[in-house]
């Protein structure tokens, strides 16, 4: 059977930040262990379970590195740093070969020499108008896309041929220090020298257009430091990953709630589907997300679905909120399984652990289950961190997941004869 003749549709359902540590107020159980999840428990009973290290054992990963790994890309080889993903996350288009920077709106003195306040008073007053005043300018054959993010933050994408990312930071990383023009770290690196030239020209332009911009006159009048310079750091050159379809042999839909993952989906050529009511919070409309998954399964052989709520609850140190959103994901799983039936090859797991007690990501593995008519059931009867540890899947890594799913989908090319 050729890979594209599979009768199955694969669904990788990520409960963002799924894993957790024992929670005293839940009697030492994790939120997933404490949650009432009859469908996930049934799927565990009918499927097979294990533990997933999204990157590698003990590694504290991010949502970006975790999803890269889960989609089959080794983040140690392809992760370009946060720049490109932050840019994707706020809705900037990023193409392979682009060099992206995290930026601050900053305050420099009138000579554009000394960085007075790297965060321009941490005020977002007028930043959208300032961004629009410079977005899209071109130097040489490079287009500069610039967009504001939250508070004093922004992102810059340099789009054009022959750019390198081995450039020094203009950001002095402390207030009161001189602005340092960007330079190629290696003078012989022509691609990075080009990036530095364009970057320095762009910085000069932001100063020229912002220094006396009405937004800044108003900021000064209100006692807010003017945002008269874009201060970039952390360059990253976007890797040539190819599309999901090129890698796996079939197209995919991407139903996710946050910009970072929508950007990743677009970057990999997935159909990114916006779901009204998907808020990325604990109040998100999981039923609407479930309907979107079922609809997408009619057009694609693969669907990536991420529900952000469990991670939000973890960062908030809110185990009861995490329990509640996991119970709603359980009902969503029931809805999807009922609709797709035996066509479905399902994997449910997390992209990392977000421990309520630590309020941030930690390096412990996530539970994982595979379910579908081609899956060998093991003896696990509950979907939870500790029950899954005894499952037949054992302890696997993120980069294993798509291979396992495509094998169950009978949709993987043979390696060898």
Report in angstroms how near the CB of residue 393 gets to its own copies at its nearest.
Answer: 8
Report in angstroms how near the CB of residue 61 gets to its own copies at its nearest.
Answer: 5
136 contributes a contact to its own copies by CB under 8 A: no
- Asked if residues 59 and 1 have their Cβ atoms less than 8 Å apart, the reply is no
382 contributes a contact to its own copies by CB under 8 A: no
47 contributes a contact to its own copies by CB under 8 A: no
**Separation CA 107–CA 109 (nearest Å):** 7
Residues numbered 328-357 forming contacts with its own copies, rule: CB under 8 A? 355, 357
| Distance (Å) of CA 117 to CA 56, 123, 201, 228, 290 | 39, 11, 21, 10, 46
- Asked if residues 357 and 30 have their Cβ atoms less than 8 Å apart, the reply is no
- Asked if residues 310 and 63 have their Cβ atoms less than 8 Å apart, the reply is no
Report in angstroms how near the CB of residue 82 gets to its own copies at its nearest.
Answer: 5
List 11, 59, 346, 368, residue binding its own copies (CB under 8 A): 59
Site string for its own copies, 200-239 (x = CB under 8 A): ----------------------------------------
310 contributes a contact to its own copies by CB under 8 A: no
3-state secondary structure of 416: coil
271 contributes a contact to its own copies by CB under 8 A: no
65 contributes a contact to its own copies by CB under 8 A: yes
Residue length of the chain: 417
405 contributes a contact to its own copies by CB under 8 A: yes
Chain CA centroid to CA 293, Å: 19
390 contributes a contact to its own copies by CB under 8 A: yes
List 205, 318, 360, 382, residue binding its own copies (CB under 8 A): 360
Report in angstroms how near the CB of residue 349 gets to its own copies at its nearest.
Answer: 14
86 contributes a contact to its own copies by CB under 8 A: yes
Residue 79 has phi, psi (to 5 degrees) of -75, 120
Residue whose pair of structure tokens reads 């950001």 in the numeric block: 171
Report which secondary-structure segment, H or E, holds 115. strand 114-117
List 136, 174, 221, 415, residue binding its own copies (CB under 8 A): 415
**Separation CA 227–CA 211 (nearest Å):** 8
| Distance (Å) of CA 365 to CA 28, 113, 284 | 17, 48, 25
Tokens of 186: 């290696």
Which range of residues in 125-133, 180-188, 293-301, 403-411 is near its own copies by CB under 8 A? Answer: 403-411
Report in angstroms how near the CB of residue 31 gets to its own copies at its nearest.
Answer: 12
Which range of residues in 219-227, 290-298, 332-340, 390-398 is near its own copies by CB under 8 A? Answer: 390-398
Which range of residues in 105-113, 139-147, 201-209, 400-408 is near its own copies by CB under 8 A? Answer: 400-408
> Do strands 366-371 and 48-53 pair parallel, antiparallel, or not at all (unpaired)?
antiparallel
- Asked if residues 59 and 363 have their Cβ atoms less than 8 Å apart, the reply is yes
Residues numbered 250-269 forming contacts with its own copies, rule: CB under 8 A? 260
> Do strands 99-108 and 177-178 pair parallel, antiparallel, or not at all (unpaired)?
unpaired
7 contributes a contact to its own copies by CB under 8 A: no
Residue 115 has phi, psi (to 5 degrees) of -80, 110
4 contributes a contact to its own copies by CB under 8 A: no
Which range of residues in 116-124, 166-174, 290-298, 379-387 is near its own copies by CB under 8 A? Answer: 379-387
List 16, 64, 165, 171, residue binding its own copies (CB under 8 A): 64
Which range of residues in 199-207, 209-217, 263-271, 370-378 is near its own copies by CB under 8 A? Answer: 370-378
Chain CA centroid to CA 192, Å: 26
Smallest CA-to-CA distance from 165 within 157, 153, 154 is with 157
H-only helix segments in 116-242: 127-134, 190-210, 214-221
Q: Which residues bind its own copies (CB under 8 A)?
A: 1, 21-22, 28, 30, 51, 55-66, 75, 79, 82, 85-86, 260, 355, 357-358, 360-364, 374-379, 385-386, 389-397, 400-408, 410, 412-417
């Amino acid at each position: 059977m050729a890979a594209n003749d599979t009768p199955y549709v694969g669904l990788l359902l990520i409960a963002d930040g799924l894993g957790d540590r024992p929670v005293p107020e839940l009697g030492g159980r994790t939120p997933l262990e404490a949650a009432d999840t009859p469908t996930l428990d049934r799927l565990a009973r009918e499927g097979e379970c294990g533990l997933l290290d999204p990157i590698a054992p003990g590694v504290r990963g991010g949502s970006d590195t975790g999803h890269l790994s889960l989609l089959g890309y080794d983040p140690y080889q392809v992760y370009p740093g946060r720049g490109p993903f932050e840019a994707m996350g706020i809705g900037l288009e990023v193409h392979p070969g682009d060099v992206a920077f995290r930026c601050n709106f900053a305050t420099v003195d009138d000579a554009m020499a000394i960085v007075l306040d790297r965060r321009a008073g941490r005020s977002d007053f007028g930043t959208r108008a300032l961004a629009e005043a410079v977005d899209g300018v071109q130097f040489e054959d490079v287009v500069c896309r610039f967009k504001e993010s939250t508070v004093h933050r922004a992102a810059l994408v340099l789009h054009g041929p022959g750019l390198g990312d081995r450039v020094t930071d203009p950001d002095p990383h402390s207030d009161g220090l001189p602005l340092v023009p960007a330079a190629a770290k290696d003078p012989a690196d022509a691609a990075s020298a080009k990036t530095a030239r364009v970057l320095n020209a762009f910085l000069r332009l932001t100063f020229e257009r912002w220094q006396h911009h009405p937004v800044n006159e108003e900021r000064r009048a209100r006692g807010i430091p003017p945002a008269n310079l874009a201060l970039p750091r952390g360059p990253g050159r976007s890797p040539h990953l190819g599309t999901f379809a090129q890698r796996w042999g079939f197209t995919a839909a991407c139903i996710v709630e946050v910009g970072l993952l929508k950007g990743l989906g677009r970057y990999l050529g997935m159909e990114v589907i916006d779901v009204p009511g998907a808020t990325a919070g604990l109040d998100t409309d999981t039923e609407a997300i479930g309907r979107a998954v079922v609809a997408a399964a009619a057009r694609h052989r693969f669907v990536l679905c991420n529900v952000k709520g469990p991670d939000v609850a973890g960062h908030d140190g809110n185990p009861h909120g995490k329990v509640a959103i996991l119970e709603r994901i359980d009902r969503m799983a029931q809805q999807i399984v009922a609709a797709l039936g035996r066509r479905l090859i399902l994997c449910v797991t997390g992209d990392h652990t977000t421990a309520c007690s630590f309020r941030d990501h930690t390096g412990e593995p996530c539970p994982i289950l595979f379910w579908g008519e081609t899956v060998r059931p093991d003896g696990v009867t509950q979907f939870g961190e500790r029950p899954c540890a005894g499952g037949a899947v054992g302890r696997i890594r993120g980069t294993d997941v798509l291979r396992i799913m495509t094998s169950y989908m009978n949709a993987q090319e043979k390696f060898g004869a």
